Amino acid sequence: IGGVLDLLDSVKSCASPFGQANYVLCDRKEIADVELYEGGFARLPEEAQGYFLHTNHYICGELLALNQHTLPTLIRDAHEADSMPRLARIRELFQRMSGSISVEGIQQALSDHLNHPRSICRHSSGSGSAVTVASIIAEPGEGRMRVCRGNPCTGTYHTYGFV
């Protein structure tokens, strides 16, 4: 993780090396969540319970102002009406699991359809609508991650080991 963060830091002075993105990095000892923007990146602090939750807008304090510039106004309004409530919902679902977070509980949270079509688990609701293309649950301490292609409510998670 340190090597990746060093690499990101070394190229941030290059002309437009980053677009808007969120990357979760992990090894057996550590997880890092970074938000990238044109000209750099910011590392997010963990939630108080020791995990990261993220949707499709900047949440790192020093980058919040960038939300107003990431998409054209009409799309941005719809984006914020979508991404921010989904983050609130996933936080609510994880808070309910507090103290007993399990892989099965995470899979259920990622399959949530409250507020459809702007739910956590996204299905096509017409032309140009956003859909869930994959779901990943990392277990770095166990040396594995579970990946589901497509919607987690109907898909199957496959387990992959890493060293």
Candidates 137, 160, 142; CA nearest to 28 is 142
Which pLDDT belongs to residue 18?
56
Cβ contact 23:34 at 8 Å = yes
**Residue-averaged pLDDT of the chain:** 83
Q: 67 with 58: CB under 8 angstroms? A: yes
pLDDT, tens digit, for every residue of 88-135?
999 999 999 978 899 999 999 999 999 988 899 999 888 777 889 999
Report d(CA 78, CA 161) in Å as an integer: 38
If you search the block for the tokens 């293309």, which residue do you land on?
A: 133
Q: How large is the C-alpha radius of gyration of the chain?
A: 16
Contacts of 75 (CB under 8 A, 6+ apart): none
CA distance 163 to 157: 20
Q: Which stretches in the chain have pLDDT values below 70?
A: 13-19, 47-49, 69-81
pLDDT at 74: 44
